[in-house]
Structure 1
Amino acid sequence: MRNPFRTTAPAVAPEDVHQTPDGGTASDTTTPTTRANRRALNRSSRRRRLTVVAAATALAFVGTGAVTYSHASKTVTVDVDGSTRTVTTTAGTVAGALDAAGVEVDDRDAVAPDPAQPLHEGSDVVVRLGKKVTVETDGKPSDVWLTALDANEALDTLAARGDDVSLVASRSGERASLGIRLDTDGPVEVVADDETVTVPDGSAGADAVLAEADVELGELDRVSVRPTEDDEADAAVALVVQRVEVKREKTTKALPFETVEKSDSSRYTDDPAVVKREGKKGTRTTVADVTLVDGSEESSDVVSDEVTTKPVDKVVVRGTKERPKDPKTIGKLMAAERGWTGAQWQCLDNLWTKESGWSTTADNPTSSAYGIPQSLPGSKMASKGSDWATNPATQIAWGLDYIAGSYGSPCGAWSHSQSVNWY
Structure 2
Amino acid sequence: MAKANHRKQTKTLRSLSKRQWTKIAAGVAAVVALVGGSVIAVHSHEARQNSVNRVTSYSATDANALGVSRGSDREDLRGGKAGDTYVTVKINGKNRAVVGSHFTDVKSVLDQGDITLETGDVVNPSLKTKVNESTVITIERADANLETTEAPIGFNVVTKETSDLPRGQQKVESEGQEGVMETTSLVTKAGQKTISSNVFTSFVRQAPVDKVILVGTGSGSSVSSAAANIGSTVPVGEMQQWAHDYLLSNGGSEADFTATVFIISHESGWRVDAQNPSGAYGLPQALPGSKMASAGADWATNYQTQLKWFWGYCARYGGVQGAYAHWQTAHSY
Instruction: Answer yes or no: same fold by TM over 0.5.
Output: no
Q: Determine which structure has greater relative contact order: mean sequence separation of CA pairs < 8 Å that are 6+ residues apart, divided by chain length.
A: 2
Larger strand percent: 1
The normalised TM-score by structure 1 is 0.22
TM superposition score normalised by structure 2:
0.28
